[in-house]
Structure 1
Amino acid sequence: MSFVKNAAAGAVLGGSLLFTAGLGMAQAQPVDAPDGLVNLTVGDLTLLESVSADTAATAASALCGAEATDISALATQVDGEGAPQTVCSGLPGGDLVVAQNVSSQTPLPAAPFPAEDAAPAEEAPAAESGSAEEGAGDGADAPAVPGAEESEG
């Protein structure tokens, strides 16, 4: 009787340890820390991708005529918070925007598969005569279809 009690107690304790360890592992996801990299876009066109905040600030100041230190502070804020910020508007292509680099965004969908008829299928070479596999090309390896047996009548 004591063996059954010990086994039951061991199962309960072991299960509770596995359960609490699983909860601890679920909370162990890495935090998306700022990586110091941002993107600089005008409208739908990406000018600079995954560059430092200082590089983005220098390019943005050349395009907008603003102080590079102000834009650098804005780029650092965007990298930390993740929300895109408009640096200046009125450019020919649209607004100049500093955004978080693509590490926190969802990946683009994959390209579709090519059409099946694009590459012709190669036929298997015929078996050489005199080998043990004669008749292999006659459909001997085809799966049997129920009710399709030959009947002699």
Structure 2
Amino acid sequence: MTEFERSRTLPALPELVFEQAANLDRIDSWLPHELHVREADPPAVTVHDDETGRDEAALLRARREQMRMEWGTREDGRYTGWLQVAGAGSGASEVTVHLSFLQGGHVPPREAVERALDESLARLAEEVRLRVDDAG
């Protein structure tokens, strides 16, 4: 198993950050550009990858009471991940994204995964900033 994890502090309340991250209508705004999530029969979703042109059957659960999202491939369980939002004090939040690749042959290059995680967290931060600015 190969695992990756990245965290970022955002200047917004955890509830607002989680709501933005878990909004399926806006999830493509912070995921890697090549991935697109379509809701099927919750918690089932389909993830389309522009790079491969393939659709992947997946599961996505948002646990609002825990401010946690969990996902993974549906049929073979070769990939899982989670996002956790926690309060960081003074109205800020800590967002952590964790990915696990369970079959060695399907692991993308470390640099590509780390770059995608950093870019996704930056995009989520921008989406949250825009939402806070609109509310203010």
| TM-score range for the pair, normalised by the shorter chain length | under 0.3
Provide the TM-score with structure 2 as the length reference: 0.24
The one of the two structures with greater contact order (alpha-carbon pairs below 8 A, sep at least 6) is 2
Higher strand share: 2
